[in-house]
Amino acid sequence: MVNSGPPTLSLGPVLYLWEGDKWRDFYYRIADEAPVHHVIIGETVCSKRLHFTEPHLPAVIERLEAAGKHVVLSTLALVTLERESQYVRSLVADSHFPIEANDLSALALLEGRPHSIGPLINIYNAATARLLARRGASSICLPPELPASSIAEIAAGTPDTAFEVHAFGRMPLAISARCAHARAKGHIKDNCQFVCAEDPDGLPVKTLDRQSFLALNGVQTVSFTCQSLLTELLDLVSMGVSRFRLSPQDCDMVAVASLYDDVLHGRTDAEGGIARLRQLYPAAPLSNGFHHGQEGAAWVARARNIGHRGAE
Amino acid sequence: MELICPAGTPAAFREAVDAGADAVYCGFRDETNARNFPGLNFSREELQDAISYARRKGTQTFVALNTFMRAGHESLWYEAAADAVRLGADALILADFGLMAHVAETYPEQRLHVSVQASASNPDAVNFLVEAFGAKRVVLPRTLTISDIGRLARQIRCEIEVFVFGGLCVMAEGRCSLSSYATGKSPNMNGVCSPASHVRYRQDGGDLVSELGSYTINRFPREEAAGYPTLCKGRFDIADASGYAFEDPVSLDVMDQIDALREAGVSALKIEGRQRGKAYVAEVVSTLRKALDAKPEHRRPLLARLRLLSEGQRTTSGAYEKRWR
């Protein structure tokens, strides 16, 4: 069974618009220092951003591969324009790298060849996971919204597929044809002037009572909190999850990856790990509510019987 | 073009049929559909009566099973599909691939429509659902302009249905976890968005504050009418500015674009509002029926009446017009 293989870490695509040099240097350091097996790379949020990173992509991929990382190319989450459809088609047709589908068009085009499924494809049950596995999906990153009980059912019902969960980072919660980020800065999407680049970790949205709530990332809305499943890693492994996705935030991701690696392999205990994680990424409080069947923003402190509660 | 009308209750269903709907869509009283609100929806017996009433009047019935099957509890959705087929539903409106595959295999004669919640927004996506599951119609997400729809229509092998009137999702439908982030309940898993069970109003000085879960969604001074705290229609602070960060409290109305939609290749126009009362359904359906049958120059006065029924009495063309982005 693939999904009981030794657990590894993967690095999700940078969801935010980072300037080309910063983006390139980030991946060079990941290649050289981060204990991640898979690196999923490429723009998922907005097709208008592609030119920022495309000039650097070949060199970044070469560096990652030289370091022994498994490179997977990500695709756009929302494909509506003809040029976006063409982009996905040419990516699928021309790439000799594995591809992660994040919308139904990529999923359709990848039929019959091994591919990955990203967290923005709706997989809520094993019937759907098996269907996609039969069409060629060899790994599936499950949607962040899923509770532990569903994760366990899906992994158990789809034994030949590798499952991955969003284990670190602000969660992608919604995507729109409209760009709230551009609108917040007095523009519309078609004349956005790439103002989302001013917020490399997202633009915070607070309630009128100044509660931190969400963050804008171009046409995407992400959680203000940073989901961390650090204390749930070993429970998830026992459920059949074999990959843990770290979603890049504007912090020391090499240190985050090393911390997760330490906890995953028993070199650091999870409670101590959480304290360290709060130091590494102080910009946002941690959350794990979705995993425990609660509101996603909630933080459920570890209790002895939590594995049983999650399986209810 | 067909007029597809909502019904949350048997009474609203009859009103929609009598008012001239070509088809009425509805769901069972549980989490298998995306309007799983208290006091709404249909028992098996009620659906049976509704379908036979519709049949006598030459109206079709579409049954929405448009949430995603909860892992380990798939039988709830499979039984709902079996019953809808047995009772004579003219189409099932589905979002979950696992459920689509089950229906396509088990009931190959059953007409299958792709729900807006499936988020099929481009030709490759739609054609995949047509080829894999035999889908006959797709309800398009509210992310496309009319010219996008026209281009799509030329490249796909099924009918197109679009929302023209009623509530407006700002986010791509079926891909939004904002509600569950704040409340634990989501459209995809529970069939609810910003559920009433998690809504609270409190007085704060002269303001009425609306909350969803533990988050403030809006604050209304005394002179302003308070609205329901739908998360994406709330007022928030971004940097130093306050305002409607995602969308104002408006609803969708593109009935003034009927001819453009027809030319784009749209087969059916859909009205949102299964949570609305029978009087609303009767008024909206009869007015839109008249507008659809009227000459273009006679439509404007008919449609003006409807604005009074819209959320906040304000409407938008949403994504159908490029400037909205």
Given A146, A174, A289, which is nearest B175 (Cβ)?
A174
Question: pLDDT per residue over B26-35, tens digit each?
Answer: 999 999 999 9
Chain position carrying tokens 């961390």? A228
| B84 shares its domain with B201 | no
Over residues B73-87, mean pLDDT: 98
Question: pLDDT per residue over A121-164, tens digit each?
Answer: 999 999 999 999 999 999 999 999 999 999 999 999 999 999 99
Q: What's the pLDDT at B312? A: 62
Which residues of chain A does B99 touch, with a Cβ-Cβ cutoff of 8 Å?
127
| B218 shares its domain with B260 | no
Given B122, B209, B322, which is nearest A105 (Cβ)?
B122
Q: For chain A, say whether B148 makes contact (Cβ under 8 Å).
A: yes
Question: pLDDT per residue over B123-149, tens digit each?
Answer: 999 999 999 999 999 999 988 999 999
| Nearest to A175, CA basis, from A118, A128, A92, A137 | A118
B173 and B117 Cβ atoms separated by less than 8 Å: yes
- Indicate the pLDDT class of residue A240, thresholds 50, 70 and 90: very high
ipTM score here? 0.95
53-112 in chain B: CB under 8 A from chain A = 68-72, 74, 95-99, 101-102
Q: What's the pLDDT at A305? A: 45
| B140 shares its domain with B289 | yes
A103 and B138 Cβ atoms separated by less than 8 Å: no
- Indicate the pLDDT class of residue A2, thresholds 50, 70 and 90: low
Q: What's the pLDDT at B303? A: 86
| B64 shares its domain with B124 | yes
How much is the pTM?
A: 0.95
Over residues A157-174, mean pLDDT: 97
Q: CA B230, B232, B233: angle at the middle one, nearest 5?
A: 65
Tell me the nearest-neighbour CA distance from B74 into chain A, angstroms.
8
| B141 shares its domain with B254 | yes
Between β-strands B215-220 and B235-238, what pairing exists: parallel, antiparallel or unpaired?
unpaired
User: CA B262, CA B255: separation in Å to the nearest integer?
Assistant: 11
Residue B285 has pLDDT above 70, yes or no: yes
Which residues of chain B does A155 touch, with a Cβ-Cβ cutoff of 8 Å?
none
Q: For chain A, say whether B203 makes contact (Cβ under 8 Å).
A: no
Residue B324 lies in a domain: no
Residue B322 lies in a domain: no
Q: What's the pLDDT at B205? A: 92
Which residues of chain B does A293 touch, with a Cβ-Cβ cutoff of 8 Å?
184
Residue B29 lies in a domain: yes
Q: Based on the structure, what is the number of domains in chain B?
A: 2
| B231 shares its domain with B255 | no
DSSP conformation letters of A7-31: PEEEEPPP-S---HHHHHHHHHHHH
The mean pLDDT of chain B is: 94
| B117 shares its domain with B190 | no
Given B171, B238, B322, which is nearest A184 (Cβ)?
B238
Residues in chain B: 325
| B176 shares its domain with B163 | no
Which residues of chain A does B71 touch, with a Cβ-Cβ cutoff of 8 Å?
124-126, 146, 149-151, 153-154, 157
Given B71, B178, B234, which is nearest A173 (Cβ)?
B178
Q: What's the pLDDT at B321? A: 85
Binding residues of A: 46, 179, 192, 196
Domain with A242 in it: what CATH number?
Answer: 3.20.20.70
Q: Which domain holds residue B230?
A: 171-242
Q: For chain A, say whether B260 makes contact (Cβ under 8 Å).
A: no
The phi-psi region of residue B134 (left if phi > 0; otherwise alpha if psi is between -120 and 50; otherwise beta) is left
Q: Which domain holds residue A66?
A: 8-170+227-284
User: CA A78, CA A220: separation in Å to the nearest integer?
Assistant: 10
